[in-house]
Structure 1
C-alpha cells in the first residue's frame, strides 16, 4: 500500500514533466540575486542557514555577525565551489527543487523532485551531490515515512533520482525487499565510495556503496545519517538509544569500534566535521560543536542550522 501511495504521489507531481527525473539541465529562468561578493568557497569560513538564507561566519570567530546572502535554501551543503540547495515548492502536493549553484551561489542546474527536503551533501571535490526527500511522512521518527535519495555526478551529468534499486548485500548475501529506504549519503575523497543509511524490516543499517560498480553492502546495524571525517577514517552518525530517540556516535572504520559523543541531547541531524576532531550539528535553532573525544558540547553559532566548513 505504501509503495502504491508513493507511486501515486510521483505520478501526480511529475505529470507533464516526467523527463525532469531522468535528465538535468541548466535553468532557463534567471537565478535569484545574491549578495555582491558572496563567495561560498572562501577558505576559513563556516557556511550556515541563517534566517533561511545561506550565510557565512569566520571559523576562527564564529560568534561574529554573519555575512548573509539572498539565496534561500531549505537544506544545503557546499564543497569546493559547488553548492547543493534544496528548495520547497508549496502546492497541493509539496515538491522540491534541487539547485546546483556555483561559488557565487548562482544557479547552474536544476532538478525537480517529489516530496520535501531532508538531507543534502556534496563530495569534498565538489563533483558528487546527493539529496534525500520525504515522499511520505515528514520525520525519521515516524513509522510511515518513505524517502527517495538521489545522486548527481555534476561533471558528467549522470543522475540517479532514487537509489533504492542499487544491489544491496546484507550479511554478505544479496538482499531484496519492497520496503528498502535510503537516506543520508556521505562521500569519500575518491568520489566513488560512499556511505549511507538503509532501512528495512524495522531496522536501520550503515551501508558502504560503490558508485562505479553500483552496489552497496551493510556494515553494521543502528546507524543513521553518517558523515565521513576529512581524513576518511571515521564516521559520525546518530544511533537509536533509550531514552532518545538518538545520540551522536563516532565509528572508527578500521576497528569498527564506536563511542558516544559528549552531546547527550537527541540530535536529528546529519552532522558535519569542522575538522578531524570536532563535529557540528543543529540543536535548538543554533549550531553546536562537540569533540569526538567525548568532551562537552558548546554552542558555536546562534540562530543558524546546516553548518558546513569551507576548507
Structure 2
C-alpha cells in the first residue's frame, strides 16, 4: 500500500488523483489531520486515516500495512522539523520500505530560510535507516499565477528577484514525479532528484507574458529584500510569511530557484508545463 501525508492539501490531492488513474483505490492510504475533508476519496474506496503531526499517537496506526510513504512537507513553517521526525519515527516502527520526501531544490547547499527545515528532515531520514528518495521540488508556478488576475488588474508586479531566472513547474508536474517514484518498477531508494521546470524566466519576462496573454499592460518593479517584505506585510501577509517570501525572492536573484537539468521532465516522461499555459489557465479561472 501507498500512503500520502497531507493528502487533503493541494499537492496531496493531485497525487491522489494521479494514483487513482493506475492503482486500485484500496491500495491507497490518504492521511490527513481531518479525515472528513477527504470523504469524496473514501467514497471511491481510498483508505482515509487520521494522521496528526501534533498527535504522534495517531501516526503509527495510520501507517498500518503501508509499504511506501510519500511524506509531503508540512505547511507550518517553524514546526516542520519536529513534525516530520515524528512521522519518520512512526514509519520506522511500521516497517515502511520506502519514504519519498518533498524537499526543496538543492536543500544541502541552499541559503534560503525555507531550506533549513527541509535539510533537517533529510538528515533525520538519513539517520533513521529507512530507504528513502528525495524529491527536491523547485518553485511552484502557482506561487505566481495564483495572483495573476490581481497582478493584471493592478498592472504591476513587485518582487526582489532582480534578473534571476526561476524554473517553475506546476503542482501537477511535481505530483507526477511523486507518482513515478512511488509506482515505478525501478528502485528509487537512495536517489536525490533536483526537480524544476524545463524553462526558466525572470520576473520581468513573467510580467511581459502576463501582458501578452491578458492584453493589458503589466510592469515589474524590483525592490530590495527589506522593501519587498514591507510591501508584502502592507498587503496583509503575516510578518513571518512575508520575511520568508522576500528571502526566497532574493535567493532567486542569486539563481537559487533555477535548475536546467530537466530532471523533472525526464522523470515524468513529458515536458513540464510552460508558464504561459499556467497563466492562461489562471486568467481563465
TM-score by length of 1: 0.29
Structure showing greater relative contact order (alpha-carbon pairs closer than 8 Å, 6 or more residues apart): 2
**Structure with the higher fraction of residues in helix conformation:** 2
